[in-house]
Amino acid sequence: MSEERIMDLDPVIHTPIRLAVLSVLAAVQSADFAYLKESVKATDGNLSTHLSKLEAAGYIRIEKTFQGKKPKTLCSMTEQGRTRFIQYIDNLQKIVDQQKGNL
């Protein structure tokens, strides 16, 4: 397998929780923190850390609002995030295709 191909995988996305978060957000307009937490099976602190990294990279947008008196955190994928996610999936597919040829 080509080392360059593996190095093409975006390190911001290439963790299970961040990949899972982006996979969920790719399918919806936005998702609240509780939904993401349940979907990716993460703790509050762990999910919060990963969301912060995705936000700092410009891949997601985090909006904090209130629903009544309760705080609500909404996350959505940015255009940059969508582009990088698609590139990540394409690069991963190329690795898979290359390995199939080696089996």
Mean pLDDT of 2-26: 86
Confidence of residue 101 (pLDDT cuts 50, 70, 90): confident
State the pTM of this model. 0.88
- What residues does each domain of the chain span? 3-93
pLDDT of residue 6: 64
Q: What is the CATH architecture assignment of 3-93?
A: Orthogonal Bundle (1.10)
The CB density around residue 17, as the number of other CB atoms within 10 Å, is: 18
Q: In this structure, are residues 39 and 20 in contact, taking their beta carbons and an 8 Å threshold?
A: yes
CA atoms within 13 A on the CB side of 41: 1
Q: What is the pLDDT of residue 4?
A: 56
pLDDT band at 39 (very low <50, low <70, confident <90, very high): very high
From the CB of residue 50, how many other CB atoms can be counted at a distance below 10 Å?
22
Q: Is 92 helix (H, G, I), strand (E, B) or coil?
A: helix
